[in-house]
Amino acid sequence: MSYFDKVLQPGERVLIRGRLHWVIYLPAYLAFAAALIIAVATYVALKDPNTALAGYGLAGLVLVYGIVVFIGRMIRRMSTEFGVTDHRIIVKRGLVSLHTIEMSVDKVESVDVDQSILGRMLGYGAVTIHGVGARWDPLPGMADPIGFRNAITTRTAPVAA
């Protein structure tokens, strides 16, 4: 059971559940591609076994870096939850140590959405919530930030998985 489901109050209706976009894996994917390119280039270009071993070693290091980044981003994505109900906004981060933020929807003054060109094409962005006397840090890498904003401002959004 997710944190979001555990903290719902009786009669509270979920408007939208948010999550981090798959684009957070992009650095790991780029490292995997770089490792493959280095390995193929080493195989094609270098015939000396000693020099080729150094090229394969470099490809291996880049691959290990990509795996570490991928696992870190996977844990981050699995341990981050965003949600809007008809009463409040809930954000949960963390796996071992937990950081949660909740704000009554009635206390929201404005919601900012920042998207780059790539973010608009792929459907991700950063959401910043301004409440009465408070401002949340931006929630970067959120999938469907416009839908999340609409759920906060209209409170009539359909439930998203």
pLDDT one-digit tens code per residue, 3-40: 888 888 888 888 889 899 999 999 999 999 999 999 99
Residues 58 and 85 in one domain: no
Residue 61 in any domain: the answer is yes
Residue 161 in any domain: the answer is no
Provide the whole-model pTM: 0.80
Give the pLDDT confidence score for residue 60 in this predicted structure.
96
- For residues 87-97, one letter each, b for 16 or more C-beta atoms within 10 angstroms of the residue's C-beta and e for the rest, the string is bbbbbbbeeee
Domain count, the chain: 2
Residue 8 in any domain: the answer is yes
Given a cut of 80, whether residue 65 has pLDDT beyond it is yes
Q: Which two tokens stand for residue 19?
A: 């999550």
Given a cut of 70, whether residue 158 has pLDDT beyond it is no
Q: Which two tokens stand for residue 91?
A: 């954000």
35: domain range? 25-75
Residue 70 parent element (H or E): helix 49-78
Residues 46 and 88 in one domain: no
Q: Which two tokens stand for residue 121?
A: 């094409």
* Mean pLDDT along residues 120-145: 88
How many whole angstroms separate alpha carbon 132 and alpha carbon 109? 6
How many whole angstroms separate alpha carbon 43 and alpha carbon 6? 53
Q: Which two tokens stand for residue 80?
A: 């981050």
Residues 60 and 113 in one domain: no
Higher local confidence (pLDDT), 58 or 101: 58
* Mean pLDDT along residues 111-118: 93
Contact 92, 4 (CB under 8 A): yes
CATH code for position 116: 2.30.29
Given a cut of 60, whether residue 49 has pLDDT beyond it is yes
Residues 86 and 138 in one domain: yes
Distance of CA 80 to the CA centre of its chain: 8
Give the pLDDT confidence score for residue 78 in this predicted structure.
92
Given a cut of 60, whether residue 157 has pLDDT beyond it is no
Tokens 């408070």 -> residue: 134
Residue 159 in any domain: the answer is no
Given a cut of 50, whether residue 156 has pLDDT beyond it is no
Give the pLDDT confidence score for residue 155 in this predicted structure.
63
Beta-ladder partners of 18: 82
How many whole angstroms separate alpha carbon 1 and alpha carbon 124? 26
Span 77-96, pLDDT tens digits: 999 998 998 889 998 998 88
Residues 140 and 94 in one domain: yes
* Mean pLDDT along residues 33-50: 89
Residues 87 and 15 in one domain: yes
Residues near 108 by Cβ (< 8 Å), separated by ≥ 6?
89, 129, 130, 131, 152, 153
Residues 85 and 149 in one domain: yes
